[in-house]
Amino acid sequence: MESYEELRSAFTAAVSHELRTPLARLLALLEGAELPGADREALLIDARGEVERMTALVDEILFLSELESGREVVALTPTSPGPILREVVEELRERSERAGVGLSAEADDGVQLPLRPRMLRVVARNLAENALRYAGEGATCVLFAGRGDGGVVLAARDNGSGVPVQDLPRLFERFYRGDRARTSRGTGLGLAIVKHVVESAGGRVEARTGEGAGLEIRCRFPA
């Protein structure tokens, strides 16, 4: 019970901190719009962006809470990943072009993952969005599903700027962002959601990187 209370306290503090930043930006933008000669249209566009960021953060917090309470069913029936991975790539095509990161999908024939389609889409999209935010302009990322490690694997592999080795163990923590990622517009919950979904389905998730070799997020499931 003591451990639970410590975890709840830490989580509440983290949520408060993450909401405080966009709220402060929103207040500054609205105050700026009241100044003489202010470009109110541009300021309102930026303000809308902060509101959308807070909305995304709240949505992901609620979704993670549903996963942890068991209200969301993670594993139901095996799903063929190819069509869903290709749909995610297509949905993110415009965003990947803006980020300057090439995004593609590959899937071995006959492979099935122990996730229902909605959960597979959640995992694949979060993996892809992580690469679009942090891989860097000019990088490429492949969403891959196939056989490996004695089971089946879902992975996102990019050849971008990579992640320092000391940051790897913390990538799946809620709200954790390395120094290079702190200026991003992400919620810091994407990979935490990936980890929870994968482990709830009996799998394991890990991050790999090398000097100048980009980053691979690898989700492994039993055969």
CB 154 within 8 A of CB 173: no
Q: What is the identity of the amino acid at 107? A: A
Residue 101 and residue 45 in one domain = no
Is 15 domain-assigned? yes
Phi, psi (rounded to 5 degrees) for 174: -60, 135
133, 190 contact by CB (below 8 A): no
CA-based nearest residue to 111, from 80, 148, 83: 80
Give domain status of residue 74, yes or no: no
Q: State the CATH number of the domain containing residue 116.
A: 3.30.565.10
Instruction: Give the per-residue pLDDT at 75.
Output: 61
In terms of Cβ atoms closer than 10 Å to its own Cβ (0-12, 13-18, 19+), residue 204 is middle
87-110: pLDDT as tens digits: 999 999 999 999 999 999 999 989
pLDDT for 179: 46
Residue 215, domain extent = 81-222
Question: 186 and 140 share a domain?
Answer: yes
Vertex 149 angle, CA 123 and 198, to 5° = 25
- Neighbouring CB atoms inside 10 A of 63's CB total 17
Q: How far apart are CA 36 and CA 32, in angstroms?
A: 9
Question: Are residues 126 and 95 both part of a single domain?
Answer: yes
Tell me if the pTM is above 0.75: no
Q: Are 45 and 101 within one domain?
A: no
pLDDT in single tens digits along all 223 residues of the chain: 665 565 555 556 556 656 777 788 888 888 888 888 888 888 888 888 888 777 777 766 666 666 666 655 566 678 899 999 999 999 999 999 999 999 999 999 899 998 888 888 889 999 999 999 888 899 999 999 999 878 899 999 999 988 888 888 788 887 665 544 444 555 567 888 888 888 888 899 999 875 557 899 999 998 7
Say if 75 falls within a structural domain: no
Residues 6+ apart with CB under 8 A from 184: 133, 134, 177
Same domain for 175 and 65: no
Structural domain count, the chain = 2
Q: 69, 99, 119 — which closes off a domain?
A: 69
pLDDT tens profile 176-190: 655 444 445 555 678
Q: What is the DSSP letter of 80?
A: -
What pLDDT sits at residue 186? 52
